[in-house]
Amino acid sequence: MEDRIRMGIHRSSDIQGDALCYSYFGVFDGHGGTHAAEFAKEHLMNEIKKQKGFFSKEERKIIQAIRDGFLSVHQKMSKSYGKLIF
């Protein structure tokens, strides 16, 4: 089976003591092959967290960070595996 899953719950606090919490549930269907599903499983959440605005209190910034994280993983996956068809 080519599908992969990843789940997680993150709880911490920032410098001011504000709670930083999120849950993450990913299903990677493998239409791009096993390697694509595994790559996304291993890298997607880390790329999303790296994006400016992910830990913002503004919903639009969080949404943009998630989009940018997906695009970053897509670009890195293409570099790692060559041109993939999605």
User: b/e per residue, 67-84, with b = 16+ CB within 10 A?
Assistant: ebbeebbbeebeeeeeee
Domain total in the chain: 1
In tens, the pLDDT along 56-81 reads: 989 999 999 999 999 999 999 888 87
Q: Does an H or E element contain 4, and which?
A: strand 4-13
In tens, the pLDDT along 22-50 reads: 899 999 987 877 888 999 999 999 999 99
> Could you tell me if residue 86 is inside a domain?
no
Pick from 8, 1, 11, 47: nearest CA to 26: 8
> Could you tell me if residue 61 is inside a domain?
yes
Range of the domain at 40: 4-81
> Could you tell me if residue 19 is inside a domain?
yes
